[in-house]
Amino acid sequence: MKELIISKNDAGQRLDKFLTKALCDIPPALMYKAIRKKKIKVNRHRAEGKQVLAEGDTLQLFLPDEFFKQEQTGGHDLARITPRISPVYEDENILLLNKRPGILVHEDGEGTGDTLITHVQAYLYQKGEYDPREEQSFAPALCNRIDRNTGGIVIAAKNAEALRVINEKIRDGSIHKFYLCAVHGIPSPREATLSGYLMKNSKENTVQVYDTNPGRGAKDIRTRYRVLATRGGDALLEINLLTGRTHQIRAHMAHIGHPLWGDGKYGINRQDRARGYKFQALYAYRLCFDREGDWGVLNGLRGREFSISPAEIYFTKEFEQA
């Protein structure tokens, strides 16, 4: 029998969710059977998989040793990494980072480990704010994803409570995301809110936008844009992403005849690459946090705005103010 004590970063999650993170490769069927047979208890009492854990709870686990994580030497790999991150804002709960185009946020299917989250964890480990040896189910995590070839602000949570709050606020629309992009042609009107439906093609890793609902799992999308500047026959836009679907901005702008510079999936890639644009000209440059609501440990973010100066974004230099 082994005991695990629920820490602050473990608390607030269901027992079954905690166990899938804290144990090694335990089959779900075996885990639920162990709970039913009282081989997994909470505070020496019968437990349920959906039971929410509190800080200080003690779990009694009558399971084979193979399902327990070996004693971690922890940190050695993180200590060897030279963190490459560009903080926009940092406090005791979160990091806002300027992710550069070309950087992966998480490990991909090819096992590439040189990722933004690895560098975040190395940064926090070397600052003494994260030690994998002290955690049973939590590691610093990214709260929003940005495509490899898109740049912009990414939110990283340093603790479980911050992760919970940020994820909740993203879901309920309390965090507003604004992008800059450069497109072929000048949209007319110069400011509008686009509506449509987006269908994913997982096999091709692309999406298709429709004006009317084609059914078959299509999701509604709304994309607000305004022209900030022009250069010849092209335009610099600010985009307010009202719904956050896969490739939404890229596909929606291409759908109305204004693909992004450098977009290999939806644009005029050969022409743009000849001009030196190997990434889509898209940058998540501004985040706004609502003033209303309960922000818990992140109360200091209420009503605040964080941004990257357009002057720091590579494709804005080709535009003059309209």
DSSP, collapsed to helix, strand or coil, labels residue 2 as strand
Portion of the chain with pLDDT greater than 90, in percent: 80
- Residue 159's identity, in one-letter code, is N
Assign domain 76-172 to its CATH superfamily: Pseudouridine synthase (3.30.2350.10)
DSSP per-residue letters across 60-129: EE---GGGBPPPP--SHHHHH------EEEE-SSEEEEEEPTT--SS--TT-----HHHHHHHHHHHHTS
Tokens found for residue 113: 């480990």
Per-residue pLDDT for 190 more than 70? yes
- Domain chopping of the chain, boundaries: 2-67, 76-172, 176-321
Q: Same fold for the domain at 76-172 and the one at 176-321?
A: yes
Q: What region does 172 belong to: left with phi over 0, alpha with psi -120 to 50, or beta?
A: alpha
- Binning pLDDT at 50, 70 and 90, where does residue 72 land? low
The pLDDT of residue 111: 53
Span 184-194, average pLDDT? 97
Mean of all residue pLDDT scores within the chain:
92
Span 247-252, average pLDDT? 96
pLDDT per residue as tens digits for the range 256-300: 999 999 998 998 877 888 888 889 999 999 999 999 999 999 999
DSSP per-residue letters across 4-27: EE--TTTTTSBHHHHHHHHBSS--
Per-residue pLDDT for 63 more than 80? yes
The pLDDT of residue 270: 79
Span 203-221, average pLDDT? 93
Per-residue pLDDT for 96 more than 80? yes
pLDDT per residue as tens digits for the range 127-141: 999 999 889 999 999
The pLDDT of residue 322: 44
Per-residue pLDDT for 112 more than 90? no
Per-residue pLDDT for 71 more than 70? no
Between the CA of residue 204 and those of 68, 246, 274, what are the distances in Å?
39, 13, 25
The pLDDT of residue 304: 97
The pLDDT of residue 156: 97
Burial of residue 152 (number of CB atoms within 10 Å: 0-12, 13-18, 19+): buried
Could you tell me which residues are beta bridge partners of residue 23? 68
DSSP per-residue letters across 169-218: HHHTT-EEEEEEEEESS--SSSEEEEEEEEEEETTTTEEEEESS---TT-
The pLDDT of residue 5: 95
Burial of residue 60 (number of CB atoms within 10 Å: 0-12, 13-18, 19+): middle
The pLDDT of residue 320: 63
Burial of residue 95 (number of CB atoms within 10 Å: 0-12, 13-18, 19+): buried
Per-residue pLDDT for 306 more than 50? yes
Per-residue pLDDT for 107 more than 90? no
Looking at 3.30.2350.10, 3.40.50.720, 3.30.1490.20, 3.40.190.10, the CATH number of the domain 176-321 comes to 3.30.2350.10
The C-alpha atoms of residue 313 and residue 308 are separated, in whole angstroms, by 8
User: Which CATH architecture group holds 2-67?
Assistant: Roll (3.10)
Contact between residue 149 and residue 250 where contact means Cβ atoms under 8 Å apart: no
- Residue 144's identity, in one-letter code, is N
What is the value of pTM for the model shown? Answer: 0.87
Portion of the chain with pLDDT greater than 70, in percent: 95
Per-residue pLDDT for 321 more than 60? no
Span 316-322, average pLDDT? 74
Per-residue pLDDT for 110 more than 70? no
Lowest mean pLDDT: which of 57-71, 236-250, 304-318? 57-71
The pLDDT of residue 77: 85
Lowest mean pLDDT: which of 52-56, 146-150, 217-221? 146-150
